[in-house]
Amino acid sequence: MALDFSFTPEQEDFRAFVRDLARREILPHVREWDEKEEMPWHAIRKLGDERLFGICAPKGLGGHEKDYISLGIAVEEVGRVDTSCAMILSMQNTLSTLIPGWGEETVSDVIRGRQLLCIATSESEAGSDVSNMTTVARLDGSELVINGQKIHVSLMPGATVMGVTAKVKQDDGKERIYFLRVPSEARGVSCELMPEMGVRSHQLGIVNFKDVRIPAGDVLGGKGEGKAVLYARWNVSRCLSALNALGAAQQVLDDTIEFVKKKRVYDRPIGQFQAISFPLVEHYTRVESVRLLAYKGLWMNTRGENAARVAGMAKWSGITFSHQAIFDCLQMHGAGGYLKDMPLERRYRDVIGLTFTGGTINVMKLIVVGQLLGREFMGISGGGEG
């Protein structure tokens, strides 16, 4: 039978390993990292020690050389414990293996947690529309000189190397988007924090580039292929964002079921009231359905198929449904769920943060429109990613 919804014994063992590691090394520190809004360096070291930033990377560089399904398993399990750490796990795996040009030494260090990568693409007038950017790079002899500003840059300050999108004027006078390798310590680079509502320990920054010089050959992917490189990664990372959110929702649902079986009102457990039990059934159904969709997207990527439609559907529905599930579970806990003593309010804030990674919810729907109806029905100039 060709159709098989089971994970392999090796993948189940890997899930158990990651789950144990996350609960042992990450869970005890999550609240402190959130309150202090600081990078989870302890978790980064522990994940690096197990080479979990290189799940799909070649063994020759220190990676595990597993498939995208295994990467999804790891992100889902870490997401059950902390959304921020799962975001970092997802970013380091996809950036290091799906975007060429960082250099083998850098990738090897990333796999071991010694360095972190990030991408700087968003601007105040260029978020989902990458082509609307104003950051430019001009050729000056053997160097490129970068000027501009990027916002919403994950892991800044913190990352050692950035992938920066910039427009470069060609010999024919036209501008093309380049994806440039820029050390965060390069002269002319400055950064300031952007305080967040949720996922506060993964850090978000504004990065300024003032006459930043890099070698002209430090281009990720190919010259003028910056958008294509980003789009190829998004087909994987959007499935991972969904699994990150679904992992959080699944853990909250599991914890809430235990709560409603014990919490008593009018001399019986509140789980006996259909106003409690029916929403739990509905949320479990949605979470399980989208979880399968997200893993289908990763399976398609593993097979080399175009997963843009499935990834877009998984991302918008996975995050939307997870957000709704956590909100309803918070209410089931009564006023206690609103307090910081409980993890529910943090999980609620964190999942909202995933809304904006790799494209907003509405952008995901536009992509699916382009896949289903055609690019001309997306209603945007150029047709976008669809």
Q: What is the pLDDT of residues 216-260, one digit of tens each?
A: 999 998 665 656 666 778 899 999 999 999 999 999 999 999 999
pLDDT value for 358: 82
Residues 189 and 152 in one domain: yes
Last residue of a domain, one of 95, 115, 135: 115
| CA distance linking residue 161 with residue 168, whole number of Å | 20
Residues 98 and 139 in one domain: no
Residues 109 and 125 in one domain: no
pLDDT digits (tens, 9 = 90+) for 357-366: 888 888 899 9
Residues 150 and 105 in one domain: no
Please indicate, yes or no, if residue 220 is contained in any of the structural domains: no
pLDDT value for 224: 56
Please indicate, yes or no, if residue 183 is contained in any of the structural domains: yes
Please indicate, yes or no, if residue 3 is contained in any of the structural domains: no
Residues 74 and 89 in one domain: yes
| CA distance linking residue 198 with residue 306, whole number of Å | 32
Distances (CA, A) of 190 to 187, 193, 258: 9, 11, 48
Residues 29 and 167 in one domain: no
Structure-token pair, residue 309: 């439609």
Residues 60 and 24 in one domain: yes
Please indicate, yes or no, if residue 1 is contained in any of the structural domains: no
Residues 377 and 265 in one domain: yes
pTM of the predicted model over 0.85 = yes
Please indicate, yes or no, if residue 51 is contained in any of the structural domains: yes
Q: End-to-end distance of the chain based on CA atoms, in angstroms?
A: 33
Where residue 275 sits, what CATH number does that domain have? Answer: 1.20.140.10
pLDDT value for 383: 47
Residues 240 and 328 in one domain: yes
Where residue 91 sits, what CATH number does that domain have? Answer: 1.10.540.10
Opening angle at CA 325, ends 323 and 328, nearest 5 = 110
Q: What are the DSSP calls for 24-63, one per residue?
A: IIIGGGHHHHHHHT---HHHHHHHHHTTGGGSSS-GGGT-
Last residue of a domain, one of 74, 98, 115: 115
Domain residues for 142?
119-215
Q: What are the DSSP calls for 140-184, one per residue?
A: ETTEEEEEEEEEEEETTTT-SEEEEEEEEE-TTS-EEEEEEEEET
The 3-state DSSP class for residue 99 equals: coil
Residues 211 and 243 in one domain: no
| CA distance linking residue 113 with residue 42, whole number of Å | 10
Judged by phi (left if over 0) then psi (alpha if -120 to 50, else beta), residue 66 lies in beta
Phi then psi for residue 212, to 5 deg, are -80, 125
Residues 94 and 132 in one domain: no
Phi then psi for residue 166, to 5 deg, are -155, 150
| CA distance linking residue 123 with residue 209, whole number of Å | 12
> Total structural domains in the chain?
3
The 3-state DSSP class for residue 244 equals: helix
Please indicate, yes or no, if residue 376 is contained in any of the structural domains: yes
Phi then psi for residue 175, to 5 deg, are -105, 140
pLDDT value for 164: 96
Residues 266 and 153 in one domain: no
pLDDT value for 43: 98
Please indicate, yes or no, if residue 128 is contained in any of the structural domains: yes
Ranges of residues in the chain with a pLDDT under 50 are 383, 386
Last residue of a domain, one of 61, 80, 115: 115
Please indicate, yes or no, if residue 304 is contained in any of the structural domains: yes
| CA distance linking residue 332 with residue 271, whole number of Å | 10
| CA distance linking residue 284 with residue 276, whole number of Å | 13
Where residue 185 sits, what CATH number does that domain have? Answer: 2.40.110.10
pLDDT value for 385: 58
| Torsion, CA 58, CA 62, CA 67, CA 68, rounded to 10 | -110
